């Protein structure tokens, strides 16, 4: 295979923190290179450095593109085009090497390369929400001046061809904002393919999709690579993604390439990092949450009376890790809001035990739920950290008290360990800002922000999000450790059945505001329908 890009002695360092360390890598024309590693390994920053648009990244070394460049218009193509006619102006394509990290790099060269590189970013749908699918793709074609040399009819036909290529012809006339996450991602792919790129960078493009939908996106990318001799770089912390797509893979860990080789071999090495979840026998105490005939009704103009919670009754025992599962609209969020005292105009009883007293979280007032709320912690799925404050400040601000610096740091490190960080890593992240952390690391800091308040009950709303499998196991172990060490009670609202199996003692399945079943984890999860499994796999 022909060398297309050579990365030599690449380093990225923010202050004292090295994000990429002495990366040396050759990327061949037309290959699909998988980059696998945990959250925070440096995968995303590597893609952005190779893309070359962000000049604020403190990168050193060299990234050499071996190109066929038109001597007239500067149009860039992979090296196999050397000696051929330029597809844009008919000029001669000549071999040329360009180092995108060189201080001599011109704006014209940067533009000529960057316009030939497409990118898909995780959880980012760059679409015109009010436009139809075909209109979105037509806009992408217009952005690359396709309409300049083609008729309107040809523009429409080309857009339809791209939509068919990503297996979305049955949604061609749908409004983009009304599509599912997987469908939106396929429209994004069609828009990127409209550029006829020489390289596609895909950063965790299917991390939030169910396996079936992810497979469709994977196949679309692989087929496009074959059809157009397109080089693809795809990052993931899911082994299935790399296995489905890559012709070669590298293992990135802590900013360093640990292995380069066949995807199966690299995945095997990657899996050695995995920790087992140690779930010990635990005897729960007396009830600490008591729900009786709980009912929450909403009025909707379109749908009339909606019973989000339909007269449900159950108990959670002290020290128990209790799971609540169900699809969107099952009543999970309303229930978690009731337990944390954040649900108004609700009927029935939702009590938590504080000491020897039972407090109804539906009853307002300082001596009612106001007294109990400080002992009930909640971590929302859409958590938030102060972006301009360090991790230690985010944590100590959560307590709301003035601590001596030494005590604040000690408390923060201890809590970060409970949330899944190692002791060494806990100390390392204290002075860092949220934007310097990976998504998984930020999620664990947000969990620590709840735990540092020393609640007796912790409600976690979709705690795993888009975590990689190893971070997910870390968090599972941290929850189990927290329960074993300090007797925390957890209510985990989740669509992630794998995570529920890891940590929960009992599970409650909800459907349309009612309890379908409650009890042993495997018994209850066996009653989840196939349709519900598919919906929950998509995070809905």
Q: Give me the tens of pLDDT residue by residue for the chain, a chain 540 residues long.
A: 799 999 999 999 988 888 999 999 999 999 999 999 887 788 989 999 999 877 788 999 999 999 999 999 999 999 999 999 998 889 999 999 999 999 998 989 998 998 899 988 765 567 887 899 999 999 999 988 887 888 899 999 999 999 988 888 898 999 988 887 778 888 888 898 888 899 999 888 776 666 677 777 788 888 888 888 899 999 988 788 898 899 999 999 889 999 999 999 999 998 887 667 777 778 888 999 999 999 998 876 666 778 889 999 999 999 999 999 988 778 888 899 999 998 888 899 999 998 889 999 999 888 888 888 889 988 876 677 888 899 998 988 767 656 667 787 888 898 888 777 888 888 889 998 887 787 668 878 888 888 888 899 999 988 876 667 777 887 788 788 878 877 889 999 988 888 999 999 999 999 989 999 999 999 999 998 887 877 776 555
Residues 6+ apart with CB under 8 A from 104: none
- What domains lie within the chain, and their CATH numbers? 287-537 (3.40.50.300)
Give the separation between CA 137 and CA 121, rounded to whole angstroms: 17
Give the separation between CA 46 and CA 20, rounded to whole angstroms: 8
Where does 10-124 have alpha helices with state H?
43-51, 107-114
Give the separation between CA 195 and CA 213, rounded to whole angstroms: 23
Please list, residue by residue across 153-166, b when 16 or more beta carbons sit within 10 angstroms of its beta carbon and e when fewer do. Answer: eebeebbeebbebb
At residue 302, the pLDDT reads: 63
Cβ-count burial of 526 within 10 angstroms (0-12 exposed, 13-18 middle, 19+ buried)? exposed
Report whether 152 contacts 203 (CB < 8 A): no
For residue 464, give both structure tokens.
Answer: 């795993």
Give the separation between CA 423 and CA 485, rounded to whole angstroms: 16
Measured N-to-C along each axis, helices 211-228 and 181-193 cross at an angle, to the nearest 10 degrees, of 10
Report whether 362 contacts 296 (CB < 8 A): no
At residue 298, the pLDDT reads: 80
Cβ-count burial of 251 within 10 angstroms (0-12 exposed, 13-18 middle, 19+ buried)? buried
At residue 124, the pLDDT reads: 54
CA 217 vs. chain centroid, Å, equals 16
For residue 540, give both structure tokens.
Answer: 């809905």
End-to-end CA distance of the chain: 43
- The dihedral formed by the CA atoms of 225, 21, 26 and 224, expressed in degrees to the nearest 10: 0
- The SS3 assignment for 286 reads coil
Give the separation between CA 48 and CA 124, rounded to whole angstroms: 15
- Measured in degrees and rounded to the nearest 5, phi and psi for residue 345 equal 50, 55
Assign residue 493 a region (left: φ > 0; alpha: ψ between -120 and 50; beta: otherwise).
beta
Give the separation between CA 34 and CA 262, rounded to whole angstroms: 10
Q: What distances in angstroms separate CA 146 from CA 107, 137, 143, 326, 510, one per listed residue?
A: 24, 11, 8, 46, 51
Report whether 352 contacts 372 (CB < 8 A): yes
For residue 451, give both structure tokens.
Answer: 């735990």
Give the separation between CA 423 and CA 250, rounded to whole angstroms: 28
Give the separation between CA 97 and CA 4, rounded to whole angstroms: 10
Where does 263-306 have alpha helices with state H?
263-270
For residue 421, give both structure tokens.
Answer: 């960080």
Report whether 459 contacts 337 (CB < 8 A): no
Which residue, among 11, 16, 46, 12, has the nearest Cα to 432 in the 3D structure?
16
Q: What distances in angstroms separate CA 286 from CA 34, 105, 250, 369, 398, one per listed residue?
A: 50, 69, 51, 20, 29
Residues 6+ apart with CB under 8 A from 113: 52, 65, 67, 76, 98, 100
At residue 476, the pLDDT reads: 84
Which residue, among 501, 466, 455, has the nearest Cα to 480 in the 3D structure?
501
Give the separation between CA 211 and CA 196, rounded to whole angstroms: 27
Give the separation between CA 282 and CA 317, rounded to whole angstroms: 12
Report whether 214 contacts 182 (CB < 8 A): yes
Report whether 20 contacts 101 (CB < 8 A): no
- The SS3 assignment for 282 reads coil
């Amino acid at each position: 295979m022909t060398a297309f890009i050579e990365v030599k002695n690449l380093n990225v360092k923010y202050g004292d923190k090295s994000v990429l360390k002495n990366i040396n890598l050759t990327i061949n024309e037309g290959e699909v290179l998988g980059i696998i590693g945990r959250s925070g390994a440096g995968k995303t920053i590597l893609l952005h450095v190779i893309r070359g648009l962000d000049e604020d990244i403190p990168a050193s070394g060299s990234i050499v593109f071996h190109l066929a460049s038109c001597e007239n218009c500067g149009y860039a193509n992979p090296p196999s085009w050397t000696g051929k006619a330029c597809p844009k102006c008919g000029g001669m394509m000549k071999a040329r090497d360009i180092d995108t990290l060189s201080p001599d790099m011109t704006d014209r060269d940067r533009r000529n390369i960057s316009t030939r590189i497409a990118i898909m970013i995780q959880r980012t749908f760059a679409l015109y929400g009010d436009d139809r699918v075909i209109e979105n793709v037509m806009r992408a074609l217009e952005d690359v001046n396709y309409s300049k040399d083609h008729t309107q009819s040809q523009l429409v036909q080309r857009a339809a061809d791209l939509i068919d290529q990503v297996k979305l012809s049955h949604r061609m006339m749908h409004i983009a904002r009304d599509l599912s996450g997987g469908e939106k991602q396929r429209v994004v792919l069609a828009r990127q393919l409209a550029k006829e790129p020489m390289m596609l960078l895909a950063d965790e493009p299917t991390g939030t999709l169910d396996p079936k939908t992810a497979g469709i996106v994977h196949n679309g990318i692989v087929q496009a690579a074959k059809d157009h001799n397109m080089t693809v770089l795809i990052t993931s912390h899911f082994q299935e993604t790399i296995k489905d797509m890559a012709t070669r893979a590298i293992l990135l860990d802590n900013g360093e390439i640990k292995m380069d080789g066949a995807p199966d071999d690299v995945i095997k090495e990657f899996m050695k990092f995995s920790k087992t979840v140690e779930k010990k026998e635990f005897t729960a105490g007396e009830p600490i949450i008591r729900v009786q005939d709980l009912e929450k009704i909403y009025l909707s103009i379109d749908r009339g009376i909606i019973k989000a919670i339909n007269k449900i009754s159950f108990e959670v025992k002290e020290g128990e890790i209790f799971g609540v599962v169900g699809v969107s609209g099952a009543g999970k969020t309303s229930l978690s809001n009731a337990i944390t005292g954040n649900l108004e105009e609700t009927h029935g009883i939702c009590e938590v035990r504080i000491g020897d007293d039972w407090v109804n979280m539906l009853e307002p007032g300082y001596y009612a739920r106001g007294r109990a709320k400080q002992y009930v912690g909640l971590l929302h799925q859409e958590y938030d950290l102060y972006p301009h404050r360090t991790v230690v400040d985010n944590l100590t601000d959560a307590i709301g008290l003035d601590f001596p610096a030494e005590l604040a740091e000690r408390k923060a490190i201890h809590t970060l360990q409970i949330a899944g960080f190692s002791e060494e890593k806990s100390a390392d992240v204290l002075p860092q800002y949220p934007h310097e952390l990976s998504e998984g690391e930020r999620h664990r800091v947000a969990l620590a922000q709840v735990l540092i308040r020393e609640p007796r009950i912790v409600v976690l709303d979709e705690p795993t999000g888009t975590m990689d499998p190893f971070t997910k196991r870390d968090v599972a172990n941290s929850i189990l450790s927290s329960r074993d060490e300090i007797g925390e009670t957890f209510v985990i609202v989740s669509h992630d059945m794998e995570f529920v199996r890891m940590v929960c003692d009992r599970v409650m399945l909800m459907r349309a505001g009612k309890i379908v079943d409650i009890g042993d984890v495997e018994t209850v999860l066996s009653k989840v329908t196939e349709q519900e499994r598919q919906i929950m796999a998509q995070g809905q």
